[in-house]
């Protein structure tokens, strides 16, 4: 046991000496491992970041929410023309639904339109505008940076008030304080009563609350009726996630009654859920992950071949040294250990440099993805570089270990 330790220490000392003696070669060899480890660490961090971004993005929809819509988000079995031919969901449908549905915590209608919104010289074109009522906040997890959502009175009376998403507010009021100010939507003056807190995730795109404006649904009907998507979506929030299925059952029954469907008629509406979105996203991320690991694994493999190559050269060059060591009593395992530890040290140094590079890269990625390198990435880097070193060093070390001392000593 003691011998192993001494030999290991001797192996490490020799490795550092050999690496120092061949600086340029070592740097070039290590480059392969640096890039390999960098790719693997960045890849795993990025995938984790993408995943996290999607999860939080989708979570902002709320896991307890259902969306009764003319359209199906994930449609595998209903032909698209059937969806198109469905009748629009109207405000009357919503009112009836609201009266009949007993289980939901809250329900709110939404009707979308896209308009240019401006304030003084600043404008945001083609902004997604959601028309809704005061109950909308209860169906979401939105928080306010400033101000409030519009009240029951304001929404029922179709007052000209609005709530701005964080990004929209910043674009319209780069310096000023938006609350109480007026913005213009298609020439109409609308008073800002609230600004939402930043959501941050880019995943939902335009549907991210950051990029939206909220108006009382009455305003939409009054001024933008012909520019809406036509059909109202009914947002339904279950009291808790355990009740989502019950709420869904009830919602389907109630909607069928509202639509006056007989038992042999198909649903002419869809009940959409975040869950479907998550399944889809997880599948996509799974594919990205596999492809990513395969490609980065390949670059690591190329790096490993580089190490193996250079270790063979190193063994050949040091044939005489191997002969000397064997003559004075180095056993096979000592020589084996010496070269494997040399290759492991090269790879470990490369791995650390790759990790360092990955940390720098992650700071850049961090601008787009909510992720940072964590301890597991450090462990990953150490483990893969060590394993790469040991595996790629083994064959050259083995050739060294089984050299004939007489031949090796004669080598010049």
Partner 1 sequence: MNIITIEHIAKIYQVGTEEVRALSDVSLKIDANEYVAIMGPSGSGKSTLMNILGCLDTPTKGKYDFTGVNVSEMNDNELAQIRNEKIGFVFQTFNLLPRSTALHNVELPLIYAGIPTVERRERAEAALENVGLSDRMTHKPNELSGGQRQRVAVARALVTKPSIILADEPTGNLDTKTGEDIMYLFNEIYEQGNTIILVTHEEYIAEHANRIIRVRDGLVESDLQVDNRKIPEKRVEQTEEG
Spatial distance between the Cα atoms of 323 and 189, rounded to a whole number of angstroms: 91
62 binds partner 1 (CB under 8 A): no
Min dist. Cβ of residue 361 to partner 1 (A):
36
Residue carrying structure tokens 């010289």: 121
DSSP bridge pairs for 237: 65, 106
**Nearer to partner 1 (CB atom), residue 275 or residue 407:** 407
- By CB under 8 A, how many residues form the interface with partner 1? 25
**Nearer to partner 1 (CB atom), residue 44 or residue 341:** 341
Torsion of the alpha carbons at 261, 267, 270 and 276, rounded to the nearest 10: 140
Spatial distance between the Cα atoms of 210 and 191, rounded to a whole number of angstroms: 18
Phi then psi for residue 237, to 5 deg, are -115, 125
Binding track over 219-258 against partner 1, x by CB under 8 A: ----------------------------------------
Spatial distance between the Cα atoms of 329 and 405, rounded to a whole number of angstroms: 10
**Nearer to partner 1 (CB atom), residue 4 or residue 368:** 4
268 binds partner 1 (CB under 8 A): no
326 binds partner 1 (CB under 8 A): yes
DSSP bridge pairs for 119: 122
Binding track over 20-49 against partner 1, x by CB under 8 A: -x----------------------------
CA distances from 87 to 101, 268, 313, 337 (A): 21, 7, 76, 76
* Residues of this chain, 291-320, that bind partner 1 according to CB under 8 A: 320
Q: Is 207 in contact with 129 (CB distance < 8 Å)?
A: no
Question: Which tokens hold the place of 355?
Answer: 């990790």
337 binds partner 1 (CB under 8 A): no
Rg (the chain; Cα; Å):
32
| Choices 150-158, 328-336, 353-361, 386-394; region in contact with partner 1 by CB under 8 A | 328-336
| Choices 4-12, 196-204, 252-260, 295-303; region in contact with partner 1 by CB under 8 A | 4-12
| Choices 17-25, 131-139, 180-188, 236-244; region in contact with partner 1 by CB under 8 A | 17-25
2 binds partner 1 (CB under 8 A): yes
**Nearer to partner 1 (CB atom), residue 254 or residue 334:** 334
Question: Which tokens hold the place of 266?
Answer: 């198909």
């Amino acid at each position: 046991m003691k011998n192993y330790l001494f030999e290991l220490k001797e192996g490490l000392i020799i490795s550092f000496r050999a690496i120092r003696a061949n600086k340029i070669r070592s740097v070039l060899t290590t480059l392969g491992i640096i890039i390999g480890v960098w790719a693997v660490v960045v890849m795993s961090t990025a995938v984790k970041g993408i995943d996290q971004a999607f999860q939080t993005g989708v979570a902002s929809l709320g896991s307890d929410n259902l969306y009764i819509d003319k359209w199906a988000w994930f449609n595998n079995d209903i032909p698209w023309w059937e969806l198109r031919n469905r009748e629009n969901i109207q405000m009357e449908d919503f009112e009836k639904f609201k009266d009949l549905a007993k289980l939901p915590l809250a329900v709110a209608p939404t009707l979308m339109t896209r308009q240019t919104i401006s304030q003084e010289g600043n404008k945001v074109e083609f902004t997604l505008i959601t028309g809704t009522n005061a109950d909308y906040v209860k169906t979401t997890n939105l928080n306010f940076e400033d101000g409030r959502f519009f009240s029951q009175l304001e929404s029922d009376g179709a007052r000209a008030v609005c709530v701005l998403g964080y990004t929209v507010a910043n674009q319209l009021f780069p310096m000023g304080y938006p609350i109480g100010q007026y913005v213009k939507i298609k020439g109409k003056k609308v008073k800002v009563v609230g600004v939402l807190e930043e959501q941050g995730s880019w995943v939902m795109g335009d549907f991210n609350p950051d990029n939206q404006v909220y108006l009382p649904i009455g305003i939409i009907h009054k001024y933008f009726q012909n520019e809406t998507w036509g059909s109202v979506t009914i947002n339904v929030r279950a009291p808790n996630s355990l009740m989502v299925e019950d709420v869904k059952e009830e919602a389907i029954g109630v909607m069928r009654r509202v639509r006056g469907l007989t038992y042999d008629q198909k649903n002419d509406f869809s009940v959409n859920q975040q869950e479907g979105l998550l399944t889809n996203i997880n599948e996509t991320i799974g594919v990205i992950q596999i492809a990513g690991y395969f490609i980065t694994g390949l670059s690591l493999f190329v790096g490993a071949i580089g190490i193996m190559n250079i270790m063979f050269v190193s063994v050949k060059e040091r044939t005489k040294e191997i002969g000397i060591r064997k003559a004075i009593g180095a056993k096979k395992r000592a020589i084996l250990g010496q070269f494997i530890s040399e290759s492991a040290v090269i790879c470990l140094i490369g791995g650390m440099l790759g990790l360092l590079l990955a940390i720098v890269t992650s700071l850049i990625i961090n601008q787009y993805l909510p992720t940072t390198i964590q301890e597991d990435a450090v462990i990953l880097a150490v483990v893969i570089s060590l394993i790469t070193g040991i595996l790629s060093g083994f064959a050259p070390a083995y050739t060294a270990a089984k050299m004939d001392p007489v031949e090796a000593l004669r080598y010049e």
